[in-house]
Amino acid sequence: MRTTALLSRDPAAPFTVETVDLDAPRADEILVRIRAAGICHTDLVNRAAGKADRPVLLGHEGAGIVAEVGAAVTSVAPGDHVVLTFRHCGTCPNCTAGRPAYCRRSTALNHFGRRADKSPRVTVDGTAVRDGFFGQSSFAGYALATADNAIVVDPGTDPAVAASFGCGFQTGAGAVLNALRPEAGAWLAIYGGGAVGSAALLAARTIPDVRTIVVETATARRDLAGELGADHVLDPAHADIVATIRELTGGGATHALDTTGILAVLADAFAALTTGATVVAVGLGAGVPPIDVRDMVLQGKTIRGCLEGDAEPGTFIPHLLDLHGRGLLPVDRLVTRFPHTEIEAALAAQRAGRVVKPVLTW
């Protein structure tokens, strides 16, 4: 079949809206009519990879309606409304232990995973498109996915809001609810007020008596954090963050989340912890943070990573959507919709800090 797609032919050039040919679903595949797809930083990072392998079809926060399923698919049916998330094998030790984000085949399945027989799923003018991003490549009117990364949701769910639960919102909320698990009386410091940090803040607000501090450089995002209920919002350009957090909390944060991937920020988050506290890192930075090992040992502090919110998407995404439906997780405050043909305007607005979570619609 033919559909429109947003292709990247050069990471330095704008996305192009093109007509592509999509293969029919194989036995283990499903065809999804995309209604909305969030733009995530991970899309943009991977856009620059593999410059010789073009064009690239990205998108890993898709939401839509199942149009067709392969002969071997039994858990998803045509007409189901779905949120598309990351793939996992379901059989490795990490998957069977309930940690599918750490699937041992994750890289092969998600990083432009190819079919076993190497046949193309998407072509343009006869040329194979580099697709299979997170098992979906959902920057298109239709996407081929699989049952293991399609989460069936209520038909009344707004796809533009639901889409980003596939990655960004799941990551932020899961880091709080699954990894950090603060209890009443806790102080949670969140570094970065973008989509992931804001989702984390909203998730923390669902736990009674958890107090929050958001550290953010952009004025608009600091203002939003205050509107979303942060107890304190700090500008690192005008405050000694470590000293200020220690003073506000009476000795240090009990929990912290770094969404930035910046080594110096992670080091500050660690330094601002109280005894026995933990900082979770979700930003994919590079290098080694300047951590005082004596401080870590003598104060019993912990740094740990967290991928995709340590979530089991089949249960966690419906849980988050239930919280949203009950008005307890108003992530719609973070979403700005753009027609898919206006992806460059969406990216410009995101870079300028005018929007937190741009979502493309079809």
Domain shared by 132 and 46, yes or no: yes
> Are 151 and 185 in a shared domain?
no
pLDDT, residue 113, reads 87
Tens digit of pLDDT at every position of the chain (362 positions): 999 999 999 988 999 999 999 999 999 999 999 999 999 988 988 887 655 567 999 999 999 999 999 999 999 999 999 999 999 999 999 999 999 999 999 999 999 988 888 899 999 999 999 999 999 999 999 999 999 999 999 999 999 999 999 999 999 999 999 999 999 999 999 999 999 999 999 999 999 999 999 999 999 999 999 999 999 999 999 989 999 999 999 999 999 999 999 999 999 999 999 999 999 999 988 888 999 999 999 999 999 999 999 999 999 999 999 999 999 999 999 999 999 999 999 999 999 889 999 999 99
Please check whether residue 180 lies inside any domain of the structure.
yes
Note the pLDDT of residue 46.
Answer: 87
Indicate whether 162 and 182 sit together in one domain: no
Q: Are residues 227 and 268 in the same domain?
A: yes
Same domain for 53 and 123, yes or no, is yes
Q: The domain containing residue 98 runs over which residues?
A: 2-166+330-361
Q: Report the pLDDT value the prediction gives residue 281, as an integer from 0 to 100.
A: 97
**How high is the pLDDT of residue 41?**
87
Q: Rounded to an integer, what is the distance from CA 281 to the centroid of its chain?
A: 13
CB atoms within 10 A of CB 72: 10
**Residue-level pLDDT at 151:** 98
Query: Under 8 Å CB-to-CB from 205, ≥6 apart: which residues?
Result: 212, 228, 229, 328
Report the CATH number at residue 17.
3.90.180.10
- Both 151 and 14 in a single domain? yes
Q: Which of 291, 306, 321 is the last residue of a domain?
A: 306
In a domain, 312, yes or no: no
pLDDT at 53: 67
- Site of tokens 């026995």: 276
188 and 214 co-located in one domain:
yes
CATH number of the structural domain spanning residue 183:
3.40.50.720
Counted domains in the chain: 2
Same domain as 188, residue 158: no
User: Are 154 and 176 within one domain?
Assistant: no
The reply to whether 207 falls in a domain is: yes
269 and 284 part of one domain: yes
Looking at the domain assignment, is residue 321 inside a domain?
Answer: no
Within a domain: residue 288?
Answer: yes
Tell me whether residue 325 is in a domain. no
Which H or E run contains 299?
A: helix 293-299
Measured CA to CA, the distance from residue 15 to residue 6 in angstroms comes to 6
CB 183 within 8 A of CB 277: no
| Residue 262 is assigned to a structural domain of this protein | yes
pLDDT at 247: 97
- Both 151 and 26 in a single domain? yes
Q: How far is residue 170's CA from residue 260's CA, in Å, rounded to a whole number?
A: 16
281 and 355 in a common domain:
no
Q: Is 87 a domain residue?
A: yes
